[in-house]
Structure 1
Amino acid sequence: MGGIVKTSSELSPEQPERYSLNGETMGTRYTALFYGPPGLDRAAIHASLFAAVDQVDRQMSNWNPDSDLCRLNAAPAHAWLAVPAELAQVLATGLRISLQSDGAFEMGVGDLVARWGFGPAQRQPTTTGMAPPPAVFTPATTALEVDLGRLRVRKHAPLALDLCGIAKGYGVDKLAHCLDGWGIDRYLVGIDGEMRARGTKPDGAPWAVALEKPTYGTREVAGVMELEDMAIATSGDYRHWVDVDGTRYGHTMDPAQGRPLSNGLAAVTVLSSTCMLADAWATALMVLGPVEGVALARQRGMDALFVLRDGDGLRETLILAGELAQPA
């Protein structure tokens, strides 16, 4: 479950104490940094944080063959299947964002992800080393029906769902709700690079989150984003990729093309009220690209940062409340 570090032991009872918790989940780590009164039951809080993200992992992982998502993927078409409330909520949200993004956010790419070597098998795209041809599949908006009232779903066609573009963000929201339940109102929680903040630090300063420079094979800080009562998520081409015949392919799939993205974008960062929304919209805008993505972000009044590969350099376009903050 990970460890805990208490960084201040000599504060007066009137001063909030800084706590830091972390552990393993979803193939990476979760973190929770928060301020509260001295003497909080750190072990109990830690256990509840782990339980929150472990629940998401057990329900929505493609890597766990016993997960509810894998059970849904294996279920026959046309039969209703009972699912947990959390999974039903994520699926319904994913379908809504898919419609709002004209299919750019797509959960039904599980088979496509596997064909390119990004699934649990982590195999090479093909045995010959040639890139797989474009694949045609039925989108989740057509093939999946979610009944939130009865907590059940059914497929109208064979469908392999992949929730990597939304589940991690939802897990961050579960961490936040966990701390809310403990009456903690100053925190920064995250899973890998997806983060959510509430309130400020005791001195009134916002929470500072580093933005990673989208470079292959190294981890560099490109800048810092300050958060207060906000969530942040980034989709990019620089963390997970495969090389096929000298060409690098990122892990984000283009549903319209049936293959990995190739639109020049290196990364898209989105701010939103929840990390689930930030996560899914970062993926959708990444897929839409530097023209259509920017246009939709402006139309929807979003806060988003687009990083475009420009030769050997990078070019940024910042959207704040739907307005260009600098020339594209």
Structure 2
Amino acid sequence: MPKTSSESAASFTRTTLHGPTMGTRWSASVDADRSVDVPALRQDLAAAAEQVDGQMSPWKPDSDLMRLNHAPVGDWVDLSPEILEVLDCAFEVRRLSAGAFDPCVGALVDAWGFGAARDAPDAQAIRAARQSMPQAMNANLELDRPGGRARKQVPLQIDLCGIAKGYAVDRMAHVLQQHGVRHALAALDGELRAIGGQASGAPWAVAIERPEAGRRAVHGVLELEDLAVATSGDYRHYVDVGNARIAHTMDARRCAPVNNTVASVTVLARTCMLADAWATALLVAGPDEGPVMAQRMGLDVLFLLRRGEGLTEVGLGRFGTARPRLPG
């Protein structure tokens, strides 16, 4: 949309805000006019990210998530509206993806050394987690959002790491909008959401990372405006066991870490929560089932598949017609 004379790019100042959360860092690139109280904005952005961490962290014993995990089966647990929203979305994506995205993998995550319980795979814990998964995969969590509560029908250990960071970015976007910001890019790890475009009128340029362990390189660049993007891959969070590299994302259907030729999946969506969950689901679904699932759901997705020593792109939706710009 063309800018009026009262909204020239010169009246905005680019400010970059950032801080620690969830074992990584949040950031926001903001084109702020004189009405924006930048110190207050930074404080509120940090508070939004920390609130989500405090509610949904599997490492904090007093988080809403851990209270739910530790509660007896059948007991109602009072929960915040935020985690109820995320649980509702997580179980809906679980249903739509036929279990490719599954928040009930907490025991598997811990057993394979990616949770708070241990930092390396434990064979006995893996056997126990695998024995409990069939029951967990057929279970539903009963949510009472008007009443602000939930209860488990069977023993469950829920893990929201595949969706909570995306939701935190959405909460940051909400804070930015509350402060009257119209041009910003909020980010947390590989999840980003754009509010409008840049004040100059250009969209935000977002890099798609080349999926190489131990190296930061750009595979391509996409343009983002009033849209969210999330990327899931097997190349950043992993453990080495002997000569094997084990990715942190769990495939509940195999009761094991994801093991296929999908190097990364990038998803565009209206919210970062949805982009985050579907990126995880499609990574797990794999190179054959994943594109079929994405097409069925009408998703905008870029798969990077390992083929020999190189990478092959499979794009759907907007990625099928407009390829990311390559660097250089």
- TM-score computed with the length of structure 1 as normaliser: 0.91
Gaps of 5+ in 1: 1-11
Q: Assess, with a 3 A threshold, how the Cα gap between structure 1 residues 127 and 80 changes in structure 2: closer, same or farther.
A: closer
Q: Which residue of 1 aligns with 2:12?
A: 16
How many residues in Structure 1 have an aligned counterpart in Structure 2?
314
Check conservation: 1:131, 1:244, Cα contact below 8 A.
no
Give the Å deviation of 1:81: 0.7
- 1:135-154 alpha-carbon deviations (Å, 9 max, x no partner): 14133661411111111100
Identity across aligned pairs (percent)?
48
Distance 2:149 2:126 in 1: 37
Distance 2:36 2:195 in 1: 18
| Residue 273 (1) aligns with residue 270 (2) | yes
Q: Which residue of 2 aligns with 1:80?
A: 76
Q: Assess, with a 3 A threshold, how the Cα gap between structure 1 residues 144 and 23 changes in structure 2: closer, same or farther.
A: same
Distance 1:141 1:271 in 2: 29
Pick from 87, 90, 94 the counterpart of residue 86 of structure 2: 90
Q: Which residue of 2 aligns with 1:239?
A: 236
Distance 2:130 2:48 in 1: 36
Distance 2:231 2:210 in 1: 11
- 1:114-135 alpha-carbon deviations (Å, 9 max, x no partner): 111000234221379x986981
Q: Secondary structure at the match of 2:274?
A: helix
**C-alpha RMSD of matched pairs (Å):** 2.2
Q: Which residue of 1 aligns with 2:281?
A: 284
Check conservation: 1:302, 1:322, Cα contact below 8 A.
no
Distance 2:87 2:139 in 1: 13
Give the Å deviation of 1:221: 1.2
Q: Which residue of 1 aligns with 2:306?
A: 309
Q: Secondary structure at the match of 2:181?
A: coil
Pick from 12, 28, 35 the counterpart of residue 32 of structure 1: 28
Check conservation: 1:170, 1:275, Cα contact below 8 A.
yes
Give the Å deviation of 1:245: 2.9
Q: Which residue of 1 aligns with 2:5?
A: none
Give the Å deviation of 1:309: 1.2
Distance 2:86 2:173 in 1: 16
Check conservation: 1:20, 1:32, Cα contact below 8 A.
yes
Q: Secondary structure at the match of 1:215?
A: coil
Gaps of 5+ in 2: 1-7, 324-328
Q: Secondary structure at the match of 1:279?
A: helix
- TM-score computed with the length of structure 2 as normaliser: 0.91
> Which amino acid counterpart does residue 139 of structure 1 have in structure 2?
A
Matches within 5 A, 1:86-235: 86-126=82-122, 135-136=130-131, 137=133, 138-139=135-136, 142-235=139-232
Q: Which residue of 2 aligns with 1:41?
A: 37
